[in-house]
Amino acid sequence: MPAQRAAIHGFAIGCLGAPRRLLQLALVEHPHDAYLRYQLGKDPEVRGLFDAAAVHYTAAYGRMKPQAAWRHDLVLRLLFSLKKTGSFEQAVNLADAEMPHWQHSPDFFFTLGDLFLDWAARAPERAGALRRAARSLRSKLE
């Protein structure tokens, strides 16, 4: 499968949106392949179909190996997609579980801050609690 994976990845980079059919066919042959699910999530994400992206990313997250080279990118994309669908609590739970792995990732903390900001904007009554959570997070970084 590594040669197929490289070909799919190269095709995905070169033709945004076009590899969906190829990925879907590959998924029929390998229904539990986390990397294929991860790649399949990118197309709907780029098209603003965050519910569909979150479904693929969640499936990939549940099946990926902890040491997967693409884990960081998947976590960020899943957090973003969950935020866009309004699944804030699920996103915060994911961030909490992943935080030990990404203590030195500015991208992770930027994405988490963006999540808190959107959640506060959509639910102003939670702004105080989110502000306290952000302060707590900042203290961990200092």
pLDDT at 91 over 50: yes
The mean per-residue pLDDT over the stretch 90-98 comes to 94
Apex CA 23: angle with CA 31 and CA 92, to 5°?
A: 70
Of 61 and 136, more confident: 61
Please state the separation of Cα 78 from the chain's center in Å.
2
Q: Do residues 53 and 23 lie in contact, with contact meaning Cβ atoms separated by under 8 Å?
A: no
Of 103 and 130, more confident: 103
> What's the distance, Cα to Cα, between the start and end of the chain in Å?
43
pTM of the model: 0.78
Three-class HEC string of the chain = CHHHHHHHHHHHHHCCCCCHHHHHHHHHHCCCCHHHHHHHHHHHHHCCCHHHHHHHHHHHHHHCCCCCCCHHHHHHHHHHHHHHCCCHHHHHHHHHHHHHHCCCCHHHHHHHHHHHHHHHHHCHHHHHHHHHHHHHHHHHHC
> Quick one: residue 48, left, alpha or beta (phi over 0 = left, psi -120 to 50 = alpha)?
left
Domain 2-141 class, CATH top level: mainly alpha
* Weakest-pLDDT range from 66-75, 82-91, 112-121, 128-137: 128-137
Look over the chain and give the mean of its residue pLDDT values, rounded to a whole number.
Answer: 82
pLDDT band at 131 (very low <50, low <70, confident <90, very high): confident
pLDDT of residue 6: 45
Which two tokens mark 13?
A: 């980079």
Residue-wise pLDDT tens digits, 26-75: 666 777 889 989 998 998 999 999 999 999 999 999 999 999 999 999 99
pLDDT of residue 115: 92
